[in-house]
């Protein structure tokens, strides 16, 4: 009988993408996926290391699986992804019930390992990437297996060379490597042919893409011109690598959506320097002003860290000030947490936890007000919306996204799923828009 796999994913889009490709690879090799660990012969947890909380969550879940395995010794238990990479063999030592530990660059080899070491091998496969691996990493072309068919991530690069002082990603994901342009086009076109409407080109630092003399702006042009995908998004961009040409592409390429995720991290120049971000608050402000001026109806989102070592009340005020000036549409806000082995880990983590929490609450509150205000300005306007899911709260409502990446809830029936429709916004809160479907903008004839 076919072996059944339960796969759970923590972490960012890149982990989701890796899991989707793993799933696809497992299915093509005769495995079946299950919805609960209880039905599984093999349990895989794809882990994240980015903050302490993410690792704690992974530890907790792995411990649960270990307890389960204690009673069901025939189950094969696998830790994959960034935490697996960071801890390697140490993880198997701490968790004797773990069979396999697989780093992010090895994840597609998992079916092979499962076959060769079906049980109790306590193997850690997370050797760091060398030159040879960097080239080989793109060789295996596996199309992701998606739960929602209409929107998909497509990796254009992996790894990161930036070494922001707080961040573990360059250590666990290795150096940046760029995917051949033709492979990206092929994947986007295959997705478009299979009914996908929107792709998000992903990379830890997506806008530093370089391949045979082509940069990220060129790549966007090619995806726009040479594929049948309807909408193109990308993330995550680093402010220091955001070129004038990229802004121009955002203003002019019809398929490219008007949203940019541009992590700021802090509004204090002193802290930005300690974070090794490579820009000042005024560089950032100039950049966002330029984007707003050139790209009509653009929406901006960001990441913020509060409580970085030595951050004073005044530094924090600078961050609040910048948030008010830029007026982001949304933001992900985090409390600083020390990551072992990073540069910032050598600094004293001297902002008390309760102060970090106070700052976090204050900044979340401010951003909520800004988002709410910005969303209110959209009342009565009409937007294109790609409907991609049933609303979780109400079975008769549907969820979609505008080109500017805002979540919209509409009434309607199943026919809306996977369509780009025209929606008039009737109400809003800080996180969501609500609207009425006007008419379908277009409906493509299905491709056989
Ligand atoms: N450039 C990356 C960022 C990945 S990490 C990308 O591709 O998305 C996502 C966010 O987590 C960062 O932008 C940062 O705001 C936050 N972060 C990273 N390390 C952190 C740490 N040690 N403590 C708190 N937040 C952190
Ligand atoms: Fe981490 Fe900075 Fe690289 Fe993003 S750009 S993954 S925050 S080191
Ligand atoms: Fe986490 Fe790894 Fe992504 S550390 S944020 S899953 S790159």
User: Was domain 382-440 assigned CATH 2.40.50.140?
Assistant: yes
Q: What is the pTM of this model?
A: 0.94
Give the pLDDT of residue 92. 86
426 in helix, strand or coil? strand
- CA of 332 from ligand 1 middle (Å) equals 9
| Residue 331 beta carbon below 6 angstroms from any ligand 1 atom | no
Class level of CATH domain 263-377: alpha beta
Report whether residue 344 contacts ligand 1, using a CB cutoff of 6 Å: no
- Ligand 1 in reach of 51 Cβ (< 6 A): yes
Is residue 17 in contact with ligand 1, taking CB distance under 6 Å?
Answer: no
Cα 169 to ligand 3 centroid, rounded to whole Å: 6
Residue nearest to ligand 3 atom 1, measured at CA: 48
Residue holding tokens 């805002």?
406
Ligand 2 site, residue 204, Cβ cutoff 6 A: yes
Asked if CATH classification 3.40.50.12160 holds for the domain at 4-129, the reply, yes or no, is yes
**Contact predicate 51/59, CB 8 Å:** no
Up-side HSE of residue 406: CA atoms within 13 Å toward CB? 31
Place of tokens 């299915």: 27
CA 138 to chain centre: 19
Find out whether the beta carbon of 442 lies less than 6 Å from any atom of ligand 2. no
169 Cα–ligand 2 center, Å: 6
Task: Summarize pLDDT for 153-201 with one digit per residue, the tens.
Answer: 999 999 999 999 999 999 999 999 999 999 999 999 999 999 999 999 9
Is 338 within 8 Å of 344 (Cβ atoms)? yes
Q: Which atom of ligand 1 is nearest to the CA of 203?
A: 7
Tell me the CA–centroid distance for residue 84 and ligand 1, in Å. Answer: 18
Strands (E), 281-431: 299-306, 330-335, 382-390, 397-402, 407-411, 420-428
Task: For residue 99, give the DSSP letter.
Answer: -
User: Is the distance from the beta carbon of residue 167 to the nearest atom of ligand 2 less than 6 Å?
Assistant: yes
CATH topology of domain 146-257: Transcription Regulator spoIIAA (3.30.750)
Ligand 1 near 166 CB (within 6 A): yes
pLDDT < 70: residue spans in the chain: 117-135, 148, 440-448
Query: Ligand 3 mean position to 127 CA, how many Å?
Result: 17
Domain ranges for the chain: 4-129, 146-257, 263-377, 382-440
**Strands (DSSP E) found in 296-377:** 299-306, 330-335
CA geometry: angle 106, 110, 116, nearest 5 deg: 120
Whose Cα sits closest to atom 4 in ligand 2? Answer: 204
Query: Which runs of consecutive H residues, i.e. helices, occur in 31-128?
Result: 52-71, 82-87, 89-94, 110-116
Same CATH fold assignment for domains 4-129 and 146-257? no
Q: Is 184 in the pocket of ligand 1 (CB under 6 A)?
A: no
Residue 295 burial (10 A CB sphere; 0-12, 13-18, 19+): buried
95's enclosing H/E stretch is: none
Answer whether 164 contacts ligand 2 (Cβ < 6 A): yes
Task: Output the CA 15–ligand 3 centroid distance in Å.
Answer: 7
Neighbours of 128 (CB within 10 A): 13
328 lines ligand 1 (CB under 6 A): no
The Å distance, Cα 50 to ligand 1 centre, comes to 6
- Nearest residue (CA) to ligand 3, atom 5: 12
CB-ligand 2 contact for 208 (6 Å cutoff)? no
Predicted local distance difference test score (pLDDT) of residue 422: 96
At residue 173, the pLDDT reads 92
Rounded distance from Cα 417 to ligand 2 centre (Å):
35
């Amino acid at each position: 009988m076919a072996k059944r796999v339960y796969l759970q994913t923590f972490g960012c889009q890149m982990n989701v993408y890796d899991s989707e490709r793993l799933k696809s690879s497992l299915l093509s090799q005769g495995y079946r996926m299950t919805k609960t660990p209880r039905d599984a012969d093999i349990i895989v947890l794809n882990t994240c290391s980015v903050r302490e909380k993410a690792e704690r969550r992974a530890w907790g879940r792995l411990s649960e699986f270990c307890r389960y395995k204690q009673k069901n010794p025939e189950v094969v238990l696998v830790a994959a992804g960034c935490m697996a990479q960071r801890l390697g063999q140490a993880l198997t030592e701490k968790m004797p019930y773990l069979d396999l530990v697989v780093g992010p660059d090895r994840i597609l080899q998992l079916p092979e390992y499962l076959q060769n070491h079906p049980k109790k091998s306590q193997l850690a496969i997370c050797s760091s990437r060398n030159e040879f691996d960097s080239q080989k990493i793109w060789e295996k072309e596996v199309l992701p297996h998606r739960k929602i068919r209409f929107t998909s991530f497509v990796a254009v690069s992996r790894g990161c060379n930036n070494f922001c002082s707080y961040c573990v990603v360059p250590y666990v994901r290795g150096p940046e490597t760029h995917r051949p342009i033709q492979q990206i086009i092929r994947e986007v076109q295959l997705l478009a042919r299979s009914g996908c409407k929107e792709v998000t080109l992903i990379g830890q630092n997506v806008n530093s893409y370089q391949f045979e003399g082509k940069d990220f702006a060129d790549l966007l042009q090619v995806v726009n011109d040479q594929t049948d995908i309807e909408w193109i998004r990308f993330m995550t961009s680093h402010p220091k690598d955001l070129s004038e040409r990229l802004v121009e592409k955002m203003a002019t390429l019809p398929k490219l959506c008007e949203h940019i995720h541009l992590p700021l991290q802090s509004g204090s120049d002193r802290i930005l320097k300690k974070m090794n971000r490579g820009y000042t608050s005024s560089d950032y402000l100039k950049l966002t002003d330029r984007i707003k001026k050139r790209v009509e109806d653009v929406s901006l989102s960001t990441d913020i860290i509060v409580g970085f070592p030595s951050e004073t009340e005044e530094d924090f005020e600078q961050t609040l000030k910048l948030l008010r000036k830029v007026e982001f549409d949304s933001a992900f806000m985090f409390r600083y947490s020390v990551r072992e082995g990073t540069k910032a880990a050598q600094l004293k983590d001297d902002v008390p936890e309760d102060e970090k929490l106070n700052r976090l609450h204050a900044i979340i509150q401010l951003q909520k007000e800004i988002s709410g205000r910005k969303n209110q300005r959209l009342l009565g306007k009409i937007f294109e919306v790609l409907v991609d899911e049933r609303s979780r709260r109400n079975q008769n409502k549907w969820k979609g996204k505008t080109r500017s990446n805002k979540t919209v809830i509409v009434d309607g029936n199943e026919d809306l799923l996977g369509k780009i429709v025209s929606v008039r916004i009737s109400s809003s809160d800080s996180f969501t828009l609500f609207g009425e479907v006007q008419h379908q903008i277009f409906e493509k004839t299905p491709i056989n």
